[in-house]
Structures are given as C-alpha cells and as structure tokens.
Amino acid sequence: MGDLSVSSSVKATILTENDDVPGSKFKSEPANYIVEHLKRWFKCRGLKQAGKREDLLTRVNDCLKSGNHHILDPGIDNGKWLEAKILRNRKPESLEASTKTVPDVLLIPKTGWKAFPSQDLPSLFNYGHVYNYVYHFVYR
C-alpha cells in the first residue's frame, strides 16, 4: 500500500498488528472469541463486519491463510492509533535542533583578531573594586 499523507503533512506507514490497536490480533484461536471481538478484528482491517459467527470465523481463517491480516486500517478509531504511531516515530525536538546547521553569520571568525587594549590591574584588586568602579563611573 505504501505511505499515507496525513493532514499534518507528516508521512506515516500503515498500521500493523504491532501498533497496539485493541482487538487487532488474536491471543488464542479465533474460535475462542465472541462475535463482537471477531467484528472488531474485521473493523481494524477495514473489512466487512456483517455475518453470523460461522461466516465470520470462515472469513477470519481465510484472511489468516492469505497473509493479509497484518495490515490495519489507518482510520480505525478516527485515526487515533495512526496519530499515536506518528508521535512515537517523531524525533524529539532536542535531537532535531542538534542536527540543524548553524548559519555562517554565527560562526566566530578565525582571522582579523586584534589585541584587546587593557591596563594592568593592581595586585590587591578584587570584585569589590569592580563594583565601586562601575558604580562611580557608570551611574554618576
């Protein structure tokens, strides 16, 4: 079947039995299940759900023999399970941000550096002096 286009423009694969959709797989023989469970199994695949128990069991066995039972309808439960799969497969934003390239304007230049003009600091200079100088020279 391939990929589906989802409204949020995210590509997702078709649901399978391994996507934890309730009622999409049998844990024992299909004959052990009631009609509601068999109909749910067909609903998960987008197949016809009508019929008596014997007809349903025959169609389940035919579907299992054909090998087409692993693919589920992506619209099951209004797309709830497809959306959950998309969210599980999406990269966390922190990983997406780390893989982005940094624009050239943010890179530090390697050439053109000059010596920064500075003055020798007195030997007993400390942070209290910094506060005093900043206060007197900046705020007055």
The predicted pLDDT at position 112 comes to 81
Question: Nearest CA to 42 among 16, 60, 21?
Answer: 60
Mean pLDDT by 10 residues, the chain (140 residues): 43 71 88 92 90 92 86 86 83 58 62 77 70 71
Q: Domain map of the chain by residue range?
A: 3-92
Give the CA distances from residue 104 to residues 101, 108, 109, in Å, rounded to whole numbers and listed in that order. 9, 9, 10
The predicted pLDDT at position 106 comes to 60
Match 């128990």 to its residue by tokens: 53
